[in-house]
Amino acid sequence: MNNKTFTARGEYARADVFLSENLDGYTRSAVKKLFESGFVSVGGKTVKPSQQINCGDIVNVTLPDAVEYSAKPEDIPIDIVYEDSDIAVVNKPQGMTVHMGNGNVDGTLVNALLFRLDKLSGINGVIRPGIVHRIDKDTSGLLVVAKNDAAHLSLSKQIEEKTCKRTYLALLEGNLKQDSGTVTTYIGRDPADRVKMAVVPPEKGKIAITDFAVLKRYIENFTLCRFDLHTGRTHQIRVHAKYLAHPIVGDPVYGVKKQKFKLGGQLLHALRLELVHPKTEERLTFEAPLPEYFSKVLNKLNEI
């Protein structure tokens, strides 16, 4: 453990805001974990993130020691569409879990990354090295990976400030009548099934904002739709599609019980990713073609 002490030079409404501004190398989520672990104290007393900080207050933080990766490298083929010394962009296939958890101890994207890449950031700990954001196991498409902590902090900030653009394509059940719009709700654990997420009251979840635009309507009563994320809640697009009363085709959790097509998961693809390179500050744009199983379904609908 490593201890750091700060003396407040001004007034702060919240202790987490004070630490975010003064503790280099820590994202907001990492600062939050320090409070949850009881590692932050003011005047010798453990405090909550909402604690007011007054000028002259002595703020002490205990920083956990860095630990080695617990995930092991595995020789799993993955599609790396871009790589340099700071980042890598991966086109993840459907069926691959991003990192360890919920019984997944191997065969994950992290296992493959540890084998393919020379280094990964350590900010997200031993289970999720390099992982800045994630996509669901049965969702395909693009995500960016950080190869060092400076890149990780930059990318995390871009996601928080919504300057990192993430665009998805999905095939929806039924005819979505609106041509475009924005869904703004709060998403949290489904009170009836803790494995699922759901639209919940504000006090029970976190705000979730998704733009949508219809690309094509099929006479067989399906809608091809583009989704743009403003926030990144768990299962956000899938929950919002269900909220619109047009769940994603093939979704085993939020979709209809009787599926027309034999699929291994939802027809949801992270098509486009736009970001600013952490070092060069160049605006980069990446696109990943639809996987074959997704294209086959669209081709069948086009023939009808």
CATH number of the domain enclosing 154 = 3.30.2350.10
User: What gap in Å lies between CA 96 and CA 119, rounded to an integer?
Assistant: 21
Task: Show Cβ contacts of residue 64 under 8 Å, excluding neighbours closer than 6 positions.
Answer: 1, 37, 39
| Of 213 and 160, more confident | 213
The residues facing 168 across adjacent strands are 227, 270
Phi-psi region of 195 (alpha: psi -120 to 50; beta: other; left: phi over 0): alpha
In a domain, 286, yes or no: no
User: What gap in Å lies between CA 304 and CA 301, rounded to an integer?
Assistant: 5
What's the mean per-residue pLDDT of the chain?
89
Q: In this structure, are 216 and 299 located in the same domain?
A: yes
> For residue range 189-240, what is the model confidence (pLDDT) as tens digits?
898 887 789 999 998 899 999 999 999 999 889 999 999 999 989 899 999 9
Share of the chain above pLDDT 90, in %: 62
DSSP type of residue 248: B
- Answer with the one of 161, 178, 202 that is the final residue of a domain: 161
- Which ranges in 93-211 belong to alpha helices (H)? 109-116, 149-160
- Answer with the one of 161, 181, 197 that is the final residue of a domain: 161
pLDDT for res 66: 52
Residue type, 183: V
Give CA separation, 52 vs 2, 36, 48, in Å.
Answer: 24, 17, 9
Q: Is the pLDDT of residue 178 over 70?
A: yes
pLDDT for res 30: 74
User: What gap in Å lies between CA 200 and CA 63, rounded to an integer?
Assistant: 34
Contact 170, 269 (CB under 8 A): yes
48 alpha carbon, distance to own chain's centre: 26
Q: In this structure, are 196 and 130 located in the same domain?
A: no
In a domain, 276, yes or no: no
In a domain, 180, yes or no: yes
Q: In this structure, are 243 and 178 located in the same domain?
A: yes
The residues facing 268 across adjacent strands are 170
| Of 201 and 129, more confident | 201
Q: Which residue bears the tokens 């619109």?
A: 244
Q: Is the pLDDT of residue 7 over 70?
A: yes
Q: Give residue 67's pLDDT band: very low, low, confident or very high (50, 70, 90).
A: very low
- Structurally, how many domains does the chain consist of? 3
User: What gap in Å lies between CA 27 and CA 265, rounded to an integer?
Assistant: 32
CA 245-248-252 angle, to 5 degrees, is 110
In a domain, 275, yes or no: no
Q: In this structure, are 107 and 139 located in the same domain?
A: yes
In a domain, 33, yes or no: yes
Lookup: tokens for 87: 């980042």
User: What gap in Å lies between CA 30 and CA 47, rounded to an integer?
Assistant: 16
Contact 134, 98 (CB under 8 A): yes
In a domain, 22, yes or no: yes
Q: In this structure, are 183 and 206 located in the same domain?
A: yes
Q: In this structure, are 26 and 91 located in the same domain?
A: no
> For residue range 27-39, what is the model confidence (pLDDT) as tens digits?
677 788 889 888 9
Q: In this structure, are 140 and 244 located in the same domain?
A: no
Q: In this structure, are 265 and 173 located in the same domain?
A: yes
Q: In this structure, are 148 and 175 located in the same domain?
A: no
Q: In this structure, are 39 and 94 located in the same domain?
A: no
- Answer with the one of 161, 196, 214 that is the final residue of a domain: 161
User: 83: closest CA among 140, 129, 150, 144?
Assistant: 144
Task: Show Cβ contacts of residue 192 under 8 Å, excluding neighbours closer than 6 positions.
Answer: 198
CATH number of the domain enclosing 36 = 3.10.290.10
In a domain, 288, yes or no: no
Phi-psi region of 161 (alpha: psi -120 to 50; beta: other; left: phi over 0): alpha
Active site residue 136: yes
Q: Is the pLDDT of residue 241 over 60?
A: yes
Q: Which of 86, 136, 138, 251 is catalytic?
A: 136
pLDDT for res 221: 94
Q: Is the pLDDT of residue 302 over 50?
A: yes
**Structural domain harbouring 205:** 167-270+294-303
Q: In this structure, are 196 and 298 located in the same domain?
A: yes
Q: Is the pLDDT of residue 68 over 60?
A: no
Of 119-133, 142-156, 163-177, which range is least confident? Answer: 119-133
Q: In this structure, are 57 and 173 located in the same domain?
A: no
Counts of helices then strands in the chain (DSSP H, E) = 6, 14
pLDDT (mean) for 172-199: 92
User: 208: closest CA among 231, 234, 182, 181?
Assistant: 231
In a domain, 7, yes or no: yes
User: What gap in Å lies between CA 3 and CA 222, rounded to an integer?
Assistant: 57
Share of the chain above pLDDT 70, in %: 92
